[in-house]
Amino acid sequence: MTSLSPSLERFQPQLESAIGRATRARRRRRITYRVGTLAATVVAIVVVLGVAGVVTDRDLTVVDRAAAALSTSGDAILHIRIRGERREADGSVTTWTSESWRETGEPFLQRHEIAQSDGRRVEWAFDGQLHHIYDPGSNTLYEVSKVQLGRALASLAAPGKPAPSEVVDAEKEAEARLGSAAPTNAAASADELRDSVLGLLDSGDVRADGHVVVDGRDAIRIVSVAKRVTYLVDASTYHPIDWRTEEVGGSTTTLRFLAYEELPSTDATRSLVDLTAQHPTATVSNDARAAAAALGLGG
């Protein structure tokens, strides 16, 4: 059985993928031109393409480009790896690493790993129907539905209290508790961190705030004063470097992107989202309560 710190809780993901306000705005517009001649049609097309080129090359802001750098194609495996550090106001420190692999196209298979500095880890995957949870202690791979997992997690969290009877409530329980697999104020997975970054960049509550050097790299600071967040991106590629948050009480969280890449979809890379392929010798079980206990998220 694996157990995690009782301080673990979910950092809510905000919005789904986006590639910048200007880009989205252009996609939403549908302009119809009424022209009387073929020549007029050609002229209209040239004008539209010229305007689009101007917006792309000149009008995109640092924030727009940072969001565009997080965009994905429709047939790849998005691999994200982060290192997290949580410093409490009393000086105590918690560290962990989080890694995820997700298909960018249907059926959007995904796998996640979170490892804390004390050696404890959580590893799970979702194939659209079943949650796959690996227990390294017993080399067991649990395969359960979201409803089964939610009810089992609720039962462990509140012994003696009836588990959610409604399907929707049980599914929400599973989502909430899987989301608590990383330390306080950190995304539950590297993949959710990406969604959180995109949500902030799209909020209108951020601005570029100069350059800094990070490990020899020229980086641009993007800050949100209201949310007390600083996001660092590479000054050339706009790829993510750091996501830093500060709480009113003085606690801070720093998430360093160790990898952010799209892998081509091949047999080898598709195995990265398959927990069974990663642990071929594991015993398979459908015991939902044991699966919940293996996650260590019941309390």
pLDDT beyond 50 at 48: no
pLDDT beyond 70 at 29: no
Q: Decide: pTM greater than 0.75.
A: no
Provide the pLDDT confidence category of residue 248 given band limits of 50, 70 and 90.
Answer: confident
The whole-angstrom separation of Cα 11 and Cα 178 is: 11
The whole-angstrom separation of Cα 33 and Cα 49 is: 14
**Residues 6+ positions from 51 with CB-CB distance below 8 Å:** none
Determine the average pLDDT of the residues in 225-243.
92
- pLDDT-wise least confident of 41-45, 230-234, 235-239: 41-45
Residue 236, classed as helix, strand or coil, is coil
Per-residue pLDDT of 166-183, as tens digits, reads: 555 555 656 655 655 444
The whole-angstrom separation of Cα 74 and Cα 278 is: 24
The whole-angstrom separation of Cα 85 and Cα 186 is: 9
Provide the pLDDT confidence category of residue 10 given band limits of 50, 70 and 90.
Answer: very low
- Higher-confidence residue of 152 and 55: namely 152
The whole-angstrom separation of Cα 223 and Cα 107 is: 35
The whole-angstrom separation of Cα 51 and Cα 45 is: 10
**Residues 6+ positions from 217 with CB-CB distance below 8 Å:** 234, 235, 241
Token readout for 157 is: 């969290």
pLDDT beyond 80 at 163: no
Q: State which CATH number among 2.50.20, 3.30.450, 1.10.10, 1.20.1740 fits the domain covering 76-295.
A: 2.50.20
pLDDT beyond 50 at 49: no
Determine the average pLDDT of the residues in 80-96.
90
What is the domain partition of the chain in residue ranges?
21-59, 76-295
The whole-angstrom separation of Cα 245 and Cα 266 is: 36
The pLDDT value recorded for residue 196 is: 85
